[in-house]
Structure 1
Amino acid sequence: MSKDASSVNYENNRRILSWAEEDRPREKLMLKGRSVLTDAELIAILIGSGTRDMSAVDLAKVILQHVGSNLNELARLSVKDLSKFKGIGEAKAISIVAALELGRRRKEQDRPQRARITSSRDAYEEIKPYLLDKPHEEFWILLLNRANEVMRPVQISTGGVSGTVADPKIIFKHALEHLASSMILFHNHPSGSLQPSQADKDLTRKLKEAGRLLDIPILDHLIFTDRAFFSFADEGLL
């Protein structure tokens, strides 16, 4: 290490050691626990040292200010991006990127397992929380991936007691935006009737054909009531 580098480290250490012990990030973590540290203090621990003019905490604050104090935006910065900050060399940048990647992986593992649809009953139970006790008609779709796992439910429209509009363009716009591999259609009958109308049959046929052309097959269309359901697929109408 050069004389200049040694003097910089000495100056940083002297500056940090001059703080009250509870204000030093590492010591603060040990004394009070990790939850009391600010984002800047946590990043300062990763950085380890600042520059001649700034402590590690001050340098961390500069980086956070650059991304609007948004950790999601910080996670998008590459090693090259971070290395542009004065005082952040490749090693420090790598430490920040690695720490944020660990956080992302932990978040990924915390996600509940996606429900897998293997039958019309599965589909009915999945949409139930969204359509139960509705006094008016609504049209929903369930977007699925290639493994028939639920990607997300999407409300398409809300109508009156006896009907609602389901625009095919809007339906497939959602499917394409989310890169769905297939979908299931739903609409409820507040009256409790499980009989599909001719309009229901015509719409299902139209959407099935559009799905075939776009390679996003319609796997089923369920008429939902609070106590039971009608499946177009089960009844051979799809």
Structure 2
Amino acid sequence: MNKKIKDLPDLDRPRERMLSMGEEVLSESELIALIIGSGTRELSAIDLARVIYQHFDNSLFRLSRATLEDLEHIHGVGPAKATSLKAVFALARKLIVEEALEQFTINRPESAAPYLIQLLSGKTQEEFHILLLDTKNKLLRSSQISVGLLDRSHVHPREVFREALRYGTAKIILGHNHPSGDPTPSPQDIECTKNLIEAGEILGIKIVDHLIIGHKLAGDSRQFVSLRQLGLINF
């Protein structure tokens, strides 16, 4: 039977190591052990944390995108541990978005890509967001408009421009993700963008780009595409 954390020397226990040396010295597995709090009869919290981390190929990104069902498939992980892990990664994503909002200035439309990648990469459903810019191209706010396939029924100009009018911005960037990982625009992506550009012209609100976010696939280094860069639409 494996040792329990209480049986380890103080300097081998994650909580004591953090208290004496700081969180930076802890490994990924040790941090996960602190989150889940306890192990099983057979495994200490640290051993179970290693199992969880290895289950997702020692990738924090894969772990951060795991569903509750994915987590609960691991022996020893029940609803309490699974929801604790999900909550931590959800907070981390919100922190990244909040920090970006405070300091993000868009020098050119495609420079919004890192922000949208943090927001959308790895999502299992398509999400459509808009970025509202001030006159100096500082990001004022991002808003989720819809979840689901991108088409007229899910992305209506009324919803898109309501946010722009509420915050008094004259420029917006569109962004959505492709859960498949391939950011190549579909005919529906292009048609939807054209419709929104036309609606924006009537309201005096300029759409400056539409970015599609994927994730890196074998043989394809692209993580996003810019419809403006591709020249598929006149913005």
TM-score, length-scaled by structure 2: 0.50
Contact kept? 1:138, 1:157, Cα under 8 Å: yes
Q: Note the C-alpha offset of 1:145.
A: 0.7
Q: Secondary structure at the match of 1:123?
A: helix
Counterpart of 1:115 in structure 2: which amino acid? F
Distance 1:181 1:151 in 2: 12
Q: Secondary structure at the match of 2:141?
A: strand
1:188 to 1:198, Cα distance in 2 relative to 1, 3 A: same
User: What is the aligned residue count?
Assistant: 127
SS at match of 2:131: strand
Unaligned runs of 5+ in 2: 1-100, 217-222
The one-letter code matched in structure 1 to 2:206 is P
Are 2:168 and 1:179 aligned?
yes
- CA–CA distance in 2 between the matches of 1:135 and 1:174? 25
Aligned equivalent of 2:21: none
Determine the structure 1 residue equivalent to 2:193. 204
Offset of residue 170 of structure 1 = 0.4
Cα distance in 1 between the residues matched to 2:118 and 2:225: 17
Unaligned runs of 5+ in 1: 1-111
1:218 corresponding residue in structure 2? 207
Q: Counterpart of 1:165 in 2: which secondary structure?
A: coil
Report the RMSD for the aligned CA atoms in angstroms. Answer: 2.2
Say which of 130, 151, 158 aligns to 2:140. Answer: 151
Asked whether the 8 Å contact 2:177–2:183 carries over to 1, the reply is: no
**Matched residue, 2:47:** none
Q: Deviations over 1:38-58 (max 9, x none)?
A: xxxxxxxxxxxxxxxxxxxxx
Give the one of 143, 159, 162 matched to 1:170: 159
Look up the match of 1:231. 226
**Contact 1:184 1:219 survives alignment (8 Å):** yes
CA deviations 1:22-79 (Å, max 9, x no partner) are: xxxxxxxxxxxxxxxxxxxxxxxxxxxxxxxxxxxxxxxxxxxxxxxxxxxxxxxxxx
How far the C-alpha of 1:114 sits from its partner, in A, is 3.6
- Please state whether the residue corresponding to 2:228 is helix, strand or coil: coil
Matched, 1:138 2:133: no
Identity of aligned residues (%): 38
Tell me the TM-score normalised to structure 1 length: 0.49
Alignment of 1:72-83 (within 5 A): none
**What is the CA distance between 1:113 and its match in structure 2?**
4.8
